[in-house]
Amino acid sequence: MSATGARVTNVVMAGLGGQGVITASDILAEAALHAGLDVKKAEIHGMSQRGGLVSSDVRFGERVFSPMVPPGEADYLLLLAPTELDAMAWCLRPDGVVIGTDLVSPDHLPNKRSLNVALLGALSVHLDLPPELIREAMLAALPEKLHATNEHAFEIGREAALARRAAGG
């Protein structure tokens, strides 16, 4: 709960350098901005291009103070690199949801590099934000030549999450 009592949604995204964690968190944060919410985003990207763990926190709601998700308060963990689960588990609340490659495998995507967007698609099923806003923010963030592949990936992610939900999982 935030200071005002209004619920803040906490999303942590993690992966390895080059997987598009920062892009994905930028997209989600922009979508929250366009939804008229307060939003903050934190990240550590010291040597992100050298293949190390990269993580980014996105928090949105009526009023957000700290840009960092407190340990044990993440509602969602978007995990692009399954090997990093142990390193990231600290952030999740007990009933927090991991959205990772077991839901959307990079091998089932038109382009493996769209995994970040596919997982955003899956996340969008869970959020109070209109998915249209996330899709628009995604298109605005990516060069036009990547639009078709990523729209496709976004849909694959959404469908996977809807299917899991329908299966009660």
Partner 1 sequence: MNRQLLSGDEAVALAALHAGVSLGTGYPGTPSTEILETFFRLGGRAQWAPNEKVAMEVALGAAFAGGRALVTMKHVGLNVAADPLFTAAYTGVSGAMIVLTADDPGMSSSQNEQDNRRYAVAAGLPMVEPSDSQEAYDFFLRAIEISERWGIPVLYRMTTRVCHSKSIVAPHPETAPATRAPHFEHDLPDRVMIPAYARPAHLRLRAKLAEIAVWGETCDLNRQVLGSRALGIVASGISCQHAAEAAPEASMLTLGLTYPLPMELLRGFAASVERCLVLEEGDPVLADALLAAGIPVEAKADVFRFGELDVARVRRILAHDLSPEAKALSGKAPELCPACPYHTVYNTLRKHDCIGSGDIGCYSLGVLPPYQVMDTLVDMGASIGVGLGLRHTLPPDQARRVVSIIGDSTFIHSGITGLVEMIYNPPPTGHVVIVLDNGTTAMTGQQEHPATGRTLEHTRTGQVSIEAVARALGIPSVTVLDPHDDPDGFERLLLERLAASELSVIVARRPCVLAAADIRRWELHATARVLPQLPDGACEPAGAAR
Helix-, strand-, coil-residue percentages of the chain, each rounded to 5: 45, 25, 30
Which residue, among 126, 11, 24, 9, has the nearest Cα to 64 in the 3D structure? 9
> What angle separates helix 131-141 from helix 115-124, to the nearest 10 degrees?
160
Q: Considering the complex, what minimum distance in angstroms separates the CB of residue 121 from partner 1?
A: 21
Locate all alpha helices (DSSP H) within 35-145, ordered by sequence.
Answer: 85-88, 115-124, 131-141
Q: Considering the complex, what minimum distance in angstroms separates the CB of residue 21 from partner 1?
A: 12
Stretch that binds partner 1, among 61-69, 97-105, 139-147, 160-168 (CB under 8 A): 61-69
Q: Does 7 bind partner 1 (CB under 8 A)?
A: no
Q: Does 75 bind partner 1 (CB under 8 A)?
A: no
Per CB under 8 A, the list member of 6, 7, 67, 148 interacting with partner 1 is 67
Stretch that binds partner 1, among 42-50, 99-107, 123-131, 140-148 (CB under 8 A): 42-50
Task: Tell me 101's DSSP state.
Answer: T
Residue 39 or 117: the one with the smaller Cβ distance to partner 1 is 39
Q: Does 110 bind partner 1 (CB under 8 A)?
A: no
Q: Does 45 bind partner 1 (CB under 8 A)?
A: yes
Structure tokens at 4: 């005002």
Q: What are phi and psi of 140, to 5 degrees?
A: -70, -30
* Count of residues touching partner 1 (by CB under 8 A): 42
